[in-house]
């Protein structure tokens, strides 16, 4: 599944990343803090848990980001999805690609290290040679898979969002604390944090270039995705309720968290980054007009949320997933001395200290893996679990408010909400779809 978040100019090439990572690895191999892998080498072996489009994409980038990284195990609920991912990873790269055939040499999985079924993640984690796992099953599974990975002593790259409800967020924070004690790295897939122009922009905002922040906007419109995953749009007769919902996970709130959580976490994470904290309360609204019919599950297609941050600062969020709408994706942060505008490729500051970014750019989706591989080799602290959990809850709060029509506070959502979207049981069979939320009728739990 492609995403406009990926559209950045890769001026810093894969080869540059490999050189940087290799240099760092060589410099730290003699350090007492360095962890050695694979009986004395610096080889890092990866296990993939979740073999859909995102798992294939993240694994490709991870194998591309540095030398001496191998994929040795794979697991997914569905055998056909696992096989499709494996076939893709082993395909020769296009002629104009920066990838080389050596990338395919890094795919060292065997028939004995490919697993399908509900316990596939446990079988991947049971392989001693696996040093790090990539977690890309639907977001619903992230809290339990993270906990199992940390208990197994594995480093973790986990895609965003990291939960779909407050119970899951709390679990992720607990697992992150456990990882901290064990010296394990956790990196979350909030790739905006590694975009060069945003890094520079946030530094200037935090340095006071626009003065004290007084408000702002966060907008992401378009990306309708009504035709997403056409092969699952029409339910096959042999699919049970559970299987169909899992294959259509993007449109099921219990699996994706709805699009404000699953995709717009990138945009709201940028707001938290600019503010240096999470919101204290919110009130929201939303609904579905373009998404009709059971094939679109129970998710909304538009949201609007007012987030209040410490000091009474209000940020207005507006988001949609409706085809043929004017596409727009940007953030504006307003201060007492100026304002900052950012989108996926631009940074413009107006006011007392005007600035426009025209420096280098690179692929943040490769850099996030390069940073983690380098940190593992150097024995360095790198744990983004709590931060990405807080950005996830920021999005969940907005959805909960819109679904119920109720304003709610951060402390209540984090500490008291009992909302738990787990199904009654994990097995293929009957599973009623939860109804589409109706504000004023859906209860705040």
Residue 359: exposed, middle, or buried by beta-carbon count in 10 A (0-12, 13-18, 19+)? exposed
pTM of the predicted model, to two decimals?
0.91
Measured at the alpha carbon of residue 55, what is the angle toward residues 176 and 109, in degrees to the nearest 5?
100
Q: What is the mean pLDDT of residues 21-28?
A: 38
pLDDT score recorded for residue 119: 98
| Domains defined for the chain, CATH in brackets | 4-192+366-384 (3.40.50.720), 196-358+391-415 (3.30.360.10)
pLDDT score recorded for residue 98: 67
pLDDT score recorded for residue 283: 98
Residue 36 has pLDDT above 60, yes or no: no
3-state DSSP assignment of residue 6? helix
pLDDT score recorded for residue 392: 99
| Average pLDDT score over the chain | 90
101-132 pLDDT, tens digit each: 678 899 999 999 999 999 999 999 999 999 99
Distance of CA 249 to the CA centre of its chain: 15
3-state DSSP assignment of residue 70? strand
With contact defined as beta carbons under 8 Å apart, do 390 and 278 qualify? yes
Q: How confident is the model at residue 224 (pLDDT cuts 50, 70, 90)?
A: confident
Residue 4 has pLDDT above 80, yes or no: no
Residue 326 has pLDDT above 80, yes or no: yes
Q: How far apart are CA 189 and CA 89, in angstroms?
A: 20
DSSP secondary structure, 362-404, as one string? B-HHHHHHHHHHHHHHHT---B-HHHHHHHHHHHHHHHHHHHH
257-312 pLDDT, tens digit each: 999 999 999 999 999 999 999 999 999 999 999 988 888 999 999 999 999 999 99
183-201 pLDDT, tens digit each: 999 999 999 999 999 999 9
């Amino acid at each position: 599944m492609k995403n406009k978040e990926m559209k950045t100019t890769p001026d810093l090439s894969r080869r540059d990343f490999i050189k940087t990572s290799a240099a760092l690895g060589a410099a730290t191999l003699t350090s007492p803090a360095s962890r050695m892998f694979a009986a004395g080498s610096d080889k890092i072996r990866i296990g993939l848990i979740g073999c859909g489009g995102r798992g294939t994409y993240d694994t490709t980038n991870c194998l591309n980001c540095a030398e001496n990284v191998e994929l040795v195990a794979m697991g997914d609920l569905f055998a056909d999805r696992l096989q499709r991912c494996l076939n893709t990873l082993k395909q020769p790269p296009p002629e104009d690609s920066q990838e080389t055939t050596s990338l395919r040499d890094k795919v060292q999985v065997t028939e004995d290290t490919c697993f399908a079924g509900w316990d596939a993640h446990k079988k991947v984690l049971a392989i001693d040679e696996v040093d790090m796992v990539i977690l890309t099953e639907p977001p619903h599974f992230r809290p339990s898979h993270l906990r199992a990975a940390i208990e197994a002593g594995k480093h973790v790259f986990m895609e965003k969002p990291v939960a779909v409800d407050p119970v899951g967020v709390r679990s992720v924070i607990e697992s992150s604390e456990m990882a901290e004690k064990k010296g394990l790295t956790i990196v979350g897939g909030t790739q905006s944090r590694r975009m060069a122009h945003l890094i520079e922009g946030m530094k200037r905002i935090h340095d006071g270039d626009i003065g004290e922040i007084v408000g702002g906007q966060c907008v992401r419109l378009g990306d309708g995705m009504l035709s997403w995953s056409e092969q699952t749009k029409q339910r096959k007769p042999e699919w049970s309720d559970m299987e169909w919902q899992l294959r259509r996970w993007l449109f099921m709130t219990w699996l994706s968290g709805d699009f404000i959580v699953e995709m717009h976490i990138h945009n709201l994470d940028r707001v938290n980054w600019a503010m240096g904290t999470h919101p204290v309360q919110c009130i929201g609204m939303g609904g579905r007009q373009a998404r009709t019919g059971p094939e679109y599950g129970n998710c909304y297609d538009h949201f609007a949320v007012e987030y209040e941050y410490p000091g009474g600062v209000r940020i207005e969020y507006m988001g949609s997933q409706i085809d043929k709408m004017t596409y727009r994706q940007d953030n504006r942060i307003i201060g007492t001395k100026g304002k900052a505008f950012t989108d996926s490729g631009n940074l413009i500051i107006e006011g007392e200290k005007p600035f426009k970014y025209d420096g280098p750019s690179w692929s943040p989706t490769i850099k996030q893996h390069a940073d983690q591989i380098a940190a593992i080799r150097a024995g360095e602290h790198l744990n983004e679990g709590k931060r990405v959990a807080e950005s996830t809850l920021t999005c969940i709060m907005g959805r909960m408010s819109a679904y119920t029509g109720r304003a709610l506070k951060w402390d209540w959502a984090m500490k008291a909400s009992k909302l738990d979207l787990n199904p009654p049981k994990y097995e293929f069979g009957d599973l009623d779809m939860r109804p589409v939320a109706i504000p004023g009728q859906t209860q705040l739990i």
